Amino acid sequence: MDTSLPLRENAEEALRLQNARLAALHQVALGLTSTLDLSEVLQRVVEMAQTLSASAHAHIFLYDSERDELNLAASHWSADQRNVPLQPRRTGITHSVALSGAPEFIEDLSDHPAYAHAPPDTRPGALACLPLVKADHILGTLNLGYWEPHPFDADTRSFLDLMARQAAIAIETARLHADAIEKARLERELQVARGLQTSLIPRETPRVAGWDFAALWQPAHVVSGDFYDFVPLHDAPGLGIVIADVSDKGMPAALFMALARSTIRASITSACCPADCVTHANRVLCADAGTGMFVTMCYAQLNPATGELVYVNAGHNPPLLVRQDRWQLTELARTGMVLGVDDTHSYEQRTLQLDPGDFVVFYTDGVTDAANLMEQEFGKERLRQVVLSKRGASAVDIIAALRRAVDEFVGSTPPFDDVTAVVVKRL
């Protein structure tokens, strides 16, 4: 009797099964890489996994690192049954696999404590819970459920593990693609926002006989929370000068910057009392500042014929007044609190006279707070030195010297805050 025949048949059957599984894995790889849409990839994974594993149902739970929880991302059932799988418990099998990165193959769950309280119609008879791992990073789990007890031999476990690895690669690729698309969309929106915001900044400085103006607006990022403005006054010969800094950064600050600019402009269309203008702007901003944001601002009203400058400093960095005949600086102190916090606050105004050669430097805290690689700040003293060293220069040259000094001090350190400055000089 030839006893080698059954052995040969068993070996051939094992080889056929191995080849079939390799072919199946190849089809899985082809099927999962034919699309980069994450929802399609997830659905294909559970459909292929359910079919190839001959399970009753397959589910993918993705890990949310921010909330530290697993959430159902895709499901597929072998028949018409659509029982919703239980949300993974932190003490359950799914969470354990996600934490350890080691698969679990449970051939009979009838007495397993993890399912002791599960309703009978949702309780599987067997379970394969496979981690979805990419470069030691847990993406989630692939769960394969059977209604009856089911064996998992060594070859089956290896096959399911390889299938999960293929699935993890496809899911991570699709997620990265989705992230890239979302990032590109946000970049486009930021560029549009930057263009709109740039349109709100004066394209050129005023041309007024006997006066010299220059400005610097250097956002740290795509959009800015700083702004400056020159506002012609309609019912009297005069010019309004505004510099402001919103409390936040990024898109929220940019949106609030646009609101603050339009509100302030609408409040100073005439040469009325600057303190009243700022008080009105503050009331309007308080009504709209529901996000807790605020803005510091210095508003100055210049009479070019007389050289009189009336200003209100609403919690802003004190501008520097430089007298041509003196080697000293005077700070234009604050005359009220920031805008957008207290709608009952009233502002004071102060008046000074600019004589020929005198000038005022308005700036935001991005100038003095600019830091280098040693985390040292540019500071007020360096600002004062630059301004005094250019006492006899034009407004453009003063701004250029300030920008150059800040850039040289910061060096290769990425900018942290917007840098804005305005110089008003009497010739």
Per-domain boundaries in the chain: 4-181, 201-426
160, two tokens: 């399911």
**Per-residue pLDDT at 59 exceeds 60:** yes
pLDDT tens digit sequence for 170-205: 888 888 888 888 888 888 887 887 888 888 899 999
pLDDT of residue 12: 56
Q: Is the dihedral of CA 205, 206, 210, 211 positive or negative?
A: negative
The topology (CATH level 3) of 201-426 is: Phosphatase 2c; domain 1 (3.60.40)
Cα–Cα distance for residue pair 207/304, rounded to 1 Å: 11
**Per-residue pLDDT at 97 exceeds 70:** yes
Cα–Cα distance for residue pair 159/25, rounded to 1 Å: 8
Enclosing H/E stretch for 381: helix 379-389
pLDDT tens digit sequence for 343-397: 999 999 999 999 999 999 999 999 999 999 999 999 999 999 999 999 899 999 9
Mean pLDDT, residues 156-166 taken together: 86
**Per-residue pLDDT at 32 exceeds 70:** no
Please state which of the ranges 2-6, 142-146, 279-283 shows the lowest mean pLDDT. 2-6
Total length of the chain? 427
Q: Which residues of 42-73 are buried (b: 16+ CB within 10 A; e: fewer)?
A: bbbbbbbbbebbebbbbbbbbbeeeeeebebb
Burial degree of 82 (CB within 10 A; 0-12, 13-18, 19+)? exposed
**Per-residue pLDDT at 270 exceeds 90:** no
Return mean pLDDT, the chain: 86
If we measure between CA atoms, which residue out of 398, 409, 401, 347 comes closest to residue 375? Answer: 409
C-alpha distances (whole Å) from 329 to each of 38, 319, 332, 379, 381 are: 61, 10, 10, 15, 11
132 three-state secondary structure = strand
C-alpha distances (whole Å) from 271 to each of 142, 241, 425 are: 70, 12, 20
pLDDT of residue 304: 95
Q: Report DSSP state, residue 334.
A: -
pTM for the predicted model, two decimal places: 0.69
**Per-residue pLDDT at 40 exceeds 90:** no
Cα–Cα distance for residue pair 216/201, rounded to 1 Å: 10
Q: Which residues contact 269 (CB under 8 A, 6 or more apart)?
A: 231, 233, 234
Q: Report DSSP state, residue 378.
A: -
**Per-residue pLDDT at 33 exceeds 80:** no
Cα–Cα distance for residue pair 376/129, rounded to 1 Å: 53
**Per-residue pLDDT at 223 exceeds 90:** no
Class of domain 4-181: alpha beta
Question: Angle at which helices 38-53 and 4-33 pack, to 10 degrees?
Answer: 170
Cα–Cα distance for residue pair 276/282, rounded to 1 Å: 10
Q: Which residues contact 50 (CB under 8 A, 6 or more apart)?
A: 56, 57, 58, 76, 77, 78, 144
Q: Which residues contact 22 (CB under 8 A, 6 or more apart)?
A: none
